[in-house]
Amino acid sequence: MADQEQLDTCCSSEVSSRKSHHSEQTKRNLVSRLNRIEGQIRGVKGLIEKDTYCDDVITQISAIQSALNGVGKMLLEGHLKSCVVERIQEGDQEVIDEFLVTIQRLMKK
């Protein structure tokens, strides 16, 4: 993701109030990507309602999955570079196991 701006994120180490703090530019980028994905999903619904050839629908679904993976990768990168690093620096080693579980969840898809 060479063209992507540096994700400006930070997670509080308090479990009950953990939040991600993204820059406004990052939020706009993520929301824009998600809006496009939402439109693609509506498009697939329309294709199905119009009895479009299955292979064409599957191709669109594949594009949606790829787009969602891109959003996940952006969030994962920002999380690793800020939240995880910060918590390790604070001495919280449990974040490593949490991060590994997160990666496993993303890789299942």
pLDDT for res 3: 40
CATH of the domain at 28: 1.20.58.1000
Share of the chain above pLDDT 90, in %: 69
Partnered with residue 15 across adjacent β-strands are: none
Mean pLDDT, range 9-23, rounded to an integer? 61
- Is the whole-model pTM more than 0.85? no
Radius of gyration, alpha carbons of the chain:
17
Range of the domain at 59: 22-108
Mean pLDDT, range 12-17, rounded to an integer? 51
Consecutive H or E run containing 42: helix 24-49
Whether residue 29 is contained in a domain is answered as yes
* Segment 34-75, tens digit of pLDDT: 999 999 999 999 999 999 999 999 999 999 999 999 999 999
Domain total for the chain?
1
Residue type, 10: C
Whether residue 31 is contained in a domain is answered as yes
Whether residue 6 is contained in a domain is answered as no
Whether residue 10 is contained in a domain is answered as no
